[in-house]
Structure 1
């Protein structure tokens, strides 16, 4: 069987990006340099086989267009999770998410990382 293992995203500031993803629950597994001279950090979520690879290249300047790609997290209780993320200083959008969730609307929220990548949050019981 083929398995999906990881995805890589480019970041402008490795430490700032790692700090952001740690607030979402990621753990830093390791850092290393690639053969091309890039700085890499591998982040994992406890209990998951798939990991997120952050890549810093000092000479890389292109930006991804908004809404080109995103990652997605499944959480057992989205209100509890989003409360914790918000308390960690990360803005949840769309605004008014608590009211929308309690009114029965689909429980889906987003945060935006320091480089503009969206992270979708879905309730998965």
Structure 2
């Protein structure tokens, strides 16, 4: 093979409410770097240089149900984004302080990472990993 994939550039996260989503992701440390109104999207970056794109054309679902996670028929698609964090206990404390519900974990996976899951206001699943 003549090429290699060297890193992950960003994840696109479809949301229903621009202001609510930006405020939520800012609470996790991202800030808007580029507004792309022609695409109904933006680019956000954190201090470590990790990018996400928010896409502002999501259709609101009853009870913020995630069509890839919460429905009995499991459709193909990306189910979550996973991020590496430096200190899981600090992250958990921040979630508790800001009333962000941890929906899974903390769990140890394959003896190499400690994991928790949350959902954004639209039900998108976010995974956070502390590498062991």
Give TM-score scaled by structure 1 length. Answer: 0.74
Give 4+ residue runs of structure 1 displaced > 4 Å after superposition. Answer: none
What RMSD, in angstroms, separates the aligned Cα atoms of the two structures? 2.7
Alignment gaps of 5+ in structure 1? none
Number of residue pairs the alignment of both structures matches: 113
Match of 1:7 among 3, 11, 17: 11
Which is bigger in relative contact order (C-alpha 8 A, separation at least 6)?
1
Matched residue SS, 1:94: strand
| 1:121 and 2:125 are equivalent in the alignment | no
Indicate if the aligned counterparts of 1:66 and 1:116 stay in contact, CA closer than 8 A. no
- The alpha carbon displacement at 1:90 in A equals 0.7
Structure 2 segments unaligned to the other structure (5+ residues): 61-65, 71-77
- Structure 1 counterpart of 2:55: 55
The answer to whether structure 1 residue 112 and structure 2 residue 119 are counterparts is yes
1:91 aligns with 2:101: yes
